[in-house]
Amino acid sequence: MWHGIEHVFVEQSLVAAFAVVGALILVSNLAAKHLTNGRVHGSAIAIVLGLVLAYAGGLYTGGRKGLADIPALAGIGLMGGAMLRDFAIVATAFEVDVIEARRAGLLGVLALALGTILPFIVGTLTAVAFGYHDAVSITTIGAGAITYIVGPVTGAAIGADSTVMALSIATGVTKAVMVMVGTPLVARLIGLDNPRSAMAYGGLMGTVSGVAGGLAATDPKLVPYGALTATFHTGIGCLVGPSILFLTVRALVG
Amino acid sequence: MIVLGVALLAACTLIGVYLGDLLGLALGVKANVGGVGIAMILLIAARLWLSRRGRLTKGVQFGVEFWAGMYIPIVVAMAAQQNVVAAVSGGPIVLIAATGSLVLCFGAVALLSRIGRRDPGGGAVAHGGSVIGGDAEPDAVAPAAVPVARKV
């Protein structure tokens, strides 16, 4: 019987993913209501649960795609993959209040610039502290601190070796996971409760996965504003990483 | 027609991603430069254009809003396929670089959100939140839906 159920899950993978994720959200909403008295957002619990399951799945299969590496749950890979994720992110723009967005536009641009430079500086300083002295490695690890896509794109463009690339990707992934979990915890502290600050937040944090999860877990009404600026972040990072940032680092360390 | 809304969303996404690819090519980076962001701006513009001409029908609206409401479930699926094992076992350099940039960026958000005034946003913002949050309960949607229906 188990084999039969597994077969259905493999064959109807996307449909199965809808059912599994729906059940996960149902459980999380119940937990939010009864265990935390509504103080924690149901989506926050669902996202953290998703990350825990991804960890368990990763340990179990040894793969890199968490729960999606289990054949019966492969549909989760499709449902949460870049295609549907971007489709849903674009759809949230339909709910943007244009006046609010325009009011925060300049702030978003400023945040984008800071969101590229600040993580890069932290990443490069850490790399230097851990004994990397060549411009290529320092830049690649610094770029990984921007996002886990900017890291490898930059590394590939300037010819970094695979160990450094792996470190760079791991830095970006760790940042994304920490943004997802950390945002709802510090939201009130950093004033993340209105469209303006959400646009600043999206531009500064950048990582689309992190911002997508962090804002969904904090307050759905802020999602489109944060997503709007965050989606430009990776592109800008990929643009300046192998060019301006690399040249700057090379000029500094020789 | 609901499919028209989905098609509008798809068209905006495709055009945006295509423009992002072109921009990447023009700038000489092997990446999409802001494609999704361009798509979002296109969709915002399309909505304004449609509502000004009175063509923003309930079907079109529902076709897009369904996907906005699927945002959180899709993000949960995304979380479930992150490489958390790599993140956890990355070692101190990874942890320090990630934590450091995170703390600094959170600080910068706090600083930037203090510039200018802080207002929670109007009714349109709250309505958008309930759509994205997937709250389709009639009593939650009804008060916000009435003025929209009057406009159409």
Q: pLDDT of B18-44, one tens digit each?
A: 999 999 898 887 778 888 999 999 999
- Residues of chain A scoring pLDDT < 50: none
Model confidence at B139: pLDDT above 70: no
pTM metric for this prediction: 0.87
CA dihedral B128, B120, A189, A24 (to 10 degrees): -20
Question: Which of A25, A194, A201 faces B118 most closely, judged by CB atoms?
Answer: A194
Question: Which token pair is A211?
Answer: 């911002």
State the maximum Cα–Cα separation within chain B, in Å, rounded to a whole number. Answer: 58
Chain A residues in contact with B106 by the CB 8 A cut-off are 182, 186, 189-190
Label residues A206-218 b or e (16+ Cβ within 10 Å = b): bbbbbbbbbbbbb
Contact B108 A94 (CB under 8 A): no
Token output for A253: 């360390």
Please answer yes or no on whether A114 and B108 come within 8 Å at the CB atom: yes
Over residues A185-217, the pLDDT tens digits come to 999 999 898 899 999 999 999 889 899 999 999
CA gap A134, A113 in Å, rounded: 25
B45 touches chain A (CB under 8 A): no
Can you tell me the ipTM of this complex? 0.89
Show Cβ contacts of residue A7 under 8 Å, excluding neighbours closer than 6 positions: none
Question: What pLDDT was estimated at residue B146?
Answer: 40
Instruction: Please answer yes or no on whether B82 and A195 come within 8 Å at the CB atom.
Output: no
φ, ψ dihedrals at A83, nearest 5°: -65, -60
List, as one string, the DSSP characters of A80-135: TSHHHHHHHHHHHGGG--HHHHHHTHHHHHHHHHHHHHHHHHHHHHHHHHTT--SH
> What count of other Cβ atoms lies within 10 Å of the Cβ of residue B25?
13
Inform me whether the C-beta atom of residue B52 falls under 8 Å from chain A C-beta atoms.
no
Q: Tell me, what's the pLDDT at B148?
A: 43
Mean pLDDT of chain B: 84
Contact B131 A95 (CB under 8 A): yes
Cα–Cα–Cα angle for A143, A145, A148, rounded to 5 degrees: 80
